[in-house]
Amino acid sequence: MATVTIKKKKSAQWEPAEVKAELLAKYPPKVARKRAKQILINEALENETPEISANVRTIPGIITMRGCTYAGCKGVIMGPTRDIVNLVHGPIGCSFYAWLTRRNQTDAGVDGANYMPYAFSTDMQDSDIIFGGEKKLEKAIQEAYDLFHPRSIAVFATCPVGLIGDDIHTVTKRMKEKFGDCNVYAFSCEGYKGVSQSAGHHIANNQVFRHIVGENDEVKPGKYKINLLGEYNIGGDGFEIDRIFKKCGITNIATFSGNSSYDQFASAHTADLNAVMCHRSINYVADMLETKYGIPWIKVNFISAKATAKSLRKIAEYFNDQELIDRVEAVIAEEMPAVEAAKKDVLPRTEGKTAMLFVGGSRAHHYQELFAEMGMKTISAGYEFAHRDDYEGREVIPNLTVDADSRNIEEIVVEADATRFKPRKSPEEMKALVEAGYKFKDYEGLIPDMDKGTLVIDDLNQYEAEKLVELMKPDIFCAGIKEKFSIQKLGIPMKQLHSYDSGGPYAGFKGAVNFYHEIDRLVNSKVWSYMKAPWQENPQLSATYGWE
């Protein structure tokens, strides 16, 4: 860790401890005590990482950036899969989120089955809340089946469904048996189930694993077969990563879940390696695939050209085949000149600028590499809903405290499949890789990658976001749509790192080039200096009252 020097643009000299104190100053003592544990001044400790409080309830009254459990399940994990009818069981207000979700792109494929443009909802009314909604749900499933004859129908519970106790699992089971050619299952992902959308990821992944993975044993062609876990094709990121895989000769059996289809999930157990991109949303699936089918997993990152090259090399090293190793090197050599040229172009204007990143559960970390390529420093960052392992690394997992909220989320017990468990490498081969420094199941988290003296803040809220910007004056602030306009009003450019505004892809080599140009335009635009009207800066008129 190097020490970060924050460019002081204000007359006041802000030290991290002072910034932290200032963020907490207005809170009542109890709130301040709780928030203090989620605001960490990074320090370089020997052999350990500073501890942060994460994945705990947001204090009522605070305007959090988080979403709900239903959003994490329906929107994040299941949203990008094109050929599963996603039926929301709930009032129409929640079903706004049934119709598209985020900017996850899709290719309708040869069969053309793509239900993403539709909004499926049971549209619960007062009478359904009073007398129960199961009959209405059954009718809605039947209607979707008759209209589309999909491969699969997924049902999502919103808060009222859990409160009135509709048994959605029995309904879906009955319908599945009735249809015979359509897999129907449900998710108890009521918004209140967990402290954030993170609980929804877990609920979604459990059901995908239980109901879909392993349904298709057909062996797909390809020499180097992987799954890409935790890549959601926002702004076309997944398309760019797939382009690179294809060029390298790597076969992507299933992406969980960007641009995915039912059959991809069903075949995932036939791959030979799981590459995990977003650790937060999907590390459980990687573990379950390993336990049940014997597929090892590694952490990858395709955000930044350097990280992309590193991840490709890591995949090639796993397969340990000279043909693939050479091909990967050739692809990197072919792609890098365009990246280097773009970097050379922007660097004189971006170098030394500062960024703040407050996004989800993985991007606040991944994007720091991309900013670093542009010579930009991340002075403060944090996740909305990640857990301590995403901050401090996976070694803290055994010590994580199980509280009432985490106990609420089902942990499914997975065992080795009696017929289909097959270690992908012999114990000797695995040992040789590990001895050569190869890391399986490894994620070190965000904190060790950040400089000493930077501020790591979990579940940042609207008040703190504005305060932080006021105090530290970053050159760019990255978060989501809820934060965008309040930050811009402070005269600081704001880039959405959830939806990418209207841009992207930013992953892979072409994505890096896109990002360099876009950030260069944002941080060097003069428009931000015009945020204050001239009379706010230098009052031109003065007057006195008549009676004075």
The contact set with ligand CFM (CB under 6 A) reads: 72, 76, 102, 197, 230, 232, 234, 278, 280-281, 359-363, 498
Question: Smallest distance from the beta carbon of 459 to ligand CFM, in angstroms?
Answer: 12
Question: Smallest distance from the beta carbon of 361 to ligand CFM, in angstroms?
Answer: 3
By beta-carbon proximity to ligand CFM, the closer residue of 160 and 511 is 511
Do 455 and 39 form a contact (C-beta atoms < 8 A)? yes
Is the peptide bond between 11 and the residue preceding it cis, with omega within 30 degrees of 0? Answer: no
- Give the DSSP per-residue string, 118-150: --EE----HHHHHH-SHHHHHHHHHHHHHHH--
Q: How far does CA 355 lie from the centroid of its chain? A: 19
By beta-carbon proximity to ligand CFM, the closer residue of 183 and 362 is 362
Greatest Cα pair distance, the chain, in angstroms, is 95
Catalytic residue set: 68, 71, 102, 201
Nearest to 360 by CA among 386, 380, 378: 386
Question: Smallest distance from the beta carbon of 492 to ligand CFM, in angstroms?
Answer: 20
Is the peptide bond between 221 and the residue preceding it cis, with omega within 30 degrees of 0? Answer: no
Question: Smallest distance from the beta carbon of 341 to ligand CFM, in angstroms?
Answer: 29
CA angle 156–104–237, rounded 5-degree value: 140
Question: Smallest distance from the beta carbon of 372 to ligand CFM, in angstroms?
Answer: 18
Residue 442 phi, psi dihedral angles, 5° rounding:
-125, 130
Residue 145 phi, psi dihedral angles, 5° rounding:
-65, -45
Sequence-ordered list of residues with C-beta below 8 angstroms from that of 351, at least 6 positions apart, any chain: 374, 375, 376
- Give the DSSP per-residue string, 214-253: TS--PPPP-SEEEEEEEE--BTTHHHHHHHHHHHHTEEEE
By beta-carbon proximity to ligand CFM, the closer residue of 359 and 512 is 359
Do 157 and 166 form a contact (C-beta atoms < 8 A)? yes
Q: What is the CA radius of gyration of the chain?
A: 25
Nearest to 73 by CA among 171, 158, 175, 161: 158
Pairing of the two strands 39-41 and 455-457: antiparallel
By beta-carbon proximity to ligand CFM, the closer residue of 4 and 234 is 234
Give me the residue whose beta carbon is nearest to ligand CFM. Answer: 360
By beta-carbon proximity to ligand CFM, the closer residue of 303 and 522 is 303
Sequence-ordered list of residues with C-beta below 8 angstroms from that of 195, at least 6 positions apart, any chain: 55, 56, 57, 58, 66, 385, 405
By beta-carbon proximity to ligand CFM, the closer residue of 419 and 502 is 502
By beta-carbon proximity to ligand CFM, the closer residue of 137 and 278 is 278
